[in-house]
Amino acid sequence: MKRTLAERVVFLALSAALAVGVWAVTGRAACSVAAPYQFPVQPGTPEWVEMSANARRDACRLPTGLAERMTSEALLETALDYPFNASMYASSDLEGMFGKRAALAGNGALAELVTRPDAEEVIARALAAPAEAGEDPLRGVYLETFCAWLPELSRMAGV
């Protein structure tokens, strides 16, 4: 049975609408949080000093389900702001596996970021951007580390 032009147009319009709907639900709509997470306590504050080490780590965990809803850019900024990033470098093993495991264990933003297909591109853009006045001097070091470790971190995350 031959379809009329009107039937074909309606079919194509409905197919396009369905495709856009699927993209919205599974793609960008799922990553609706564009702002980096602000950790509730920061090193150097009175609250930080009064907390135990375990309480500090617990306070710096992302709320359940937040990382999955964040854009890759917001995840990167949150990962860079994670107060325990320096623990990545507290390793004496030759392969740096302890540091890589430490990076993924507590930094939920980094753990989610390394599963994203655009992680390398987002990190590269951040590396190419000029430093801003007053920026944490360790930001560039952390970015370079994330970039260098990305393949291994992705593999460790099961990607």
Query: Which helix H or strand E contains 122, and what residues bound it?
Result: helix 119-128
Distance from CA of residue 89 to its chain's centroid? Answer: 20
DSSP state for residue 62 in the 8-state scheme? P
Residue 120 domain flag: yes
Q: Which residues, listed in sequence order, are joined to residue 33 by a DSSP beta bridge?
A: 70
- pTM of the full predicted structure? 0.75
Burial class (CB in 10 A: 0-12, 13-18, 19+), 70: buried
Number of domains in the chain: 1
Residue 103 inside a domain? The answer is yes
Is 21 inside a domain boundary?
A: no
pLDDT at position 103: 75
Q: Which of 7-11, 61-65, 117-121 has the lowest mean pLDDT?
A: 7-11
Residue 20: inside a domain, yes or no?
A: no
Q: Return d(Cα 145, Cα 138) in angstroms, integer.
A: 11
pLDDT at 27 over 50: no
The answer to whether residue 78 sits within a structural domain is yes
The one-letter code for the residue type at 126 is A
How large is the average pLDDT for residues 124-148?
Answer: 88
Domain membership flag for residue 1: no
Residue 132 lies in a domain: yes
- Show the domain range for 71: 36-156
